[in-house]
Amino acid sequence: MMATDTASTAPPTAHGWGISLTTDRDWTQATTIEPLILARTRMDVALPEPDTRLLTFLNQKTDSLKLLELELFSTGPHDKPSATRADARAATLVRRLIPPVVPAKTRIALRPVPCHWLCVPQHAMRLVMRINHPLVGLSFDYGHWLSAGDDGLEVILGMLMPRLWNVVIPAEVQAKDRHMLMQVLCRHGYDGMRTNDPTVRQAAGAD
């Protein structure tokens, strides 16, 4: 089940449906879920075009969809994590997704994932700046950041803030760490989405 941080009063609130588009069944089911607020999928930046299912999905669902999260990986033999050689290809692929989301102003958030080609927030922000479209930003997974043992939460969120569309806060994050994150977000005036289920599963009863 997808949930949000209920303490947040800032729009948009994703208390509706969410789904991770990873299997054929997910793609089929996503077209029938109403309202579908948030969707997450993966895209291979080594391919010349986006998955046709994704383009079809966006043309069907952007009336309710508030946020599409994209995890970018690569099957290219030379595309190491964060390698800049694939930036141009990735930017072109993401730009192909923009036209169908413009009418409903659905936001696209690049979501770094450890061991993927797009694996760190700094790279995601660089790619967002390269794409240079007001609907394209990024998601920050607090669980990944804590697992990496990085310092400087204030600095990294300050850098991301102009284009930060979603903050993922896993349910297992300890209270003290959650409190620290909330303080930083408050200081930076963050008013975007906060989701607390990193898997973005369907809500109960969505069978």
At 146, the pLDDT band (50, 70, 90 cuts) reads: confident
Mean pLDDT, the chain, whole residue set: 84
- Kindly report, residue by residue over 121-136, the tens digit of the pLDDT: 999 999 999 999 999 9
Give the chain's end-to-end CA distance (angstroms, integer). 12
What is the pTM (predicted TM-score) of this model? Answer: 0.85
Residue with tokens 């413009």: 102
Higher pLDDT, 42 or 205: 42
At 197, the pLDDT band (50, 70, 90 cuts) reads: low
Query: What's residue 84's pLDDT?
Result: 83
**Residues 196, 167: Cα–Cα separation, whole Å:** 8
Instruction: State mean pLDDT over 16-34.
Output: 82
User: Given CA atoms 74, 95, 156, 105 in this order, what sign does their dihedral have?
Assistant: negative
* Contact in structure between 104 and 145 (CB atoms under 8 Å): no
Strand duo 107-110 + 67-73: pairing: parallel
Query: What's residue 201's pLDDT?
Result: 53
Query: What's residue 13's pLDDT?
Result: 39
- DSSP SS3 for 180: helix
Nearest-Å Rg of the Cα atoms of the chain is 16
Question: DSSP letter at 94?
Answer: H
